[in-house]
Structure 1
Amino acid sequence: MASGYGLNGGPSRCFVFWQELLGCYVVNAGEGDSGKKKCISAFEDYYECLHHSKEAARTRKLQAAYRKAEAMHPRENAPKAEQIRSLGLIGKEEATARILGS
C-alpha cells in the first residue's frame, strides 16, 4: 500500500524490505554512487516484493515446461474432442435401452 499500512492496519508486506533498503542507504550515504551500488541487492529484494516479476517469470517457465512435457507424452486413452463435447451421451441410445431394459 502507498500509505505503508497493510490491509489489516499493520505494516505492509514489503515494509521489512523497505526498512532494509533504507538502512542500507543510510549506512552507505557518504560514499556517493558506490553506496548505491552496495544496496542493489536490497533494492532488488524490495522491488521483487512489490511487483513479483521474478516469481512471475519463473511461473511462466514452469508452465511452459509442463505444457511441453504434456505434448511430448500424450495420455493413453485420452478422450477425443467429440467425446468431450457430447459427454458420451449422444449416439448411445442402444446402450441406454439395454440398461433400462426397454
Structure 2
Amino acid sequence: MASGYGMHGGVGRCFPFWQEVMACYVVNTSASDDSGKKKCSPVLEDYYECLHHKKEHARALALQAAYARSQSATARDDAPSASQIRNLGLLGKTEDTKAVLGQGN
C-alpha cells in the first residue's frame, strides 16, 4: 500500500525495502548534490521487484516453458535413423562394416 500500511494493518510487505531506499538516499545524497543516487539503484530495483514481481514472473514463465519442452520430448526423438543402423552392420551391411573396421574377407 502507498501509505506504508499493509492490507490488514501493520507494516506493508515492501515497506522494509522502501526504508532501505530512503536510508541509501540519506547517506549518499545531500541537498546540494544528488549525484549519489546512482549508488542506490540496486536497492531501488529490489523495491520495485517487491512491488511488481516482474523478475519473479519472468522466471516462472521460463520454468514453465522448459517444463513443457521436456514433457513434449519423447525417447524416440533421439532414436537413430535406419541408415545409421545399417551402417552399424545390423541390417545387412556387414561388408561396409568390415571395410570400415579394416577387416579383410
Runs (4+) of structure 1 exceeding 6 A deviation are: none
In the alignment of these two chains, the number of paired residues is: 73
Q: State the identity as a percent.
A: 59
- 2:52 matched to which residue of 1? 51
Higher relative contact order (CA 8 A, sep 6+): 1
Distance 1:73 1:7 in 2: 47
Say whether residues 1:11 and 2:14 are aligned partners: no
Per-residue CA deviation, residues 24-78 of structure 1 (Å, 9 max, x unaligned), is 0011113422x1110011000000000000000000000000000011138xxxx
Consecutive unaligned residues in structure 2, runs of 5 or more: 76-105
Task: Specify the alignment match of 2:34 in structure 1.
Answer: 32
Paired amino acid for 1:17: F
State the AA in 2 paired with 1:7: M
Farther-moved stretch of structure 1 (1-10 vs 19-28): 1-10
One-letter amino acid matched to 1:39? C
RMSD, aligned CA: 1.3
Letter in 2 for 1:43: L
Q: Which residue of 2 aligns with 1:93?
A: none
Cross-structure match for 1:82? none
SS at match of 1:42: helix
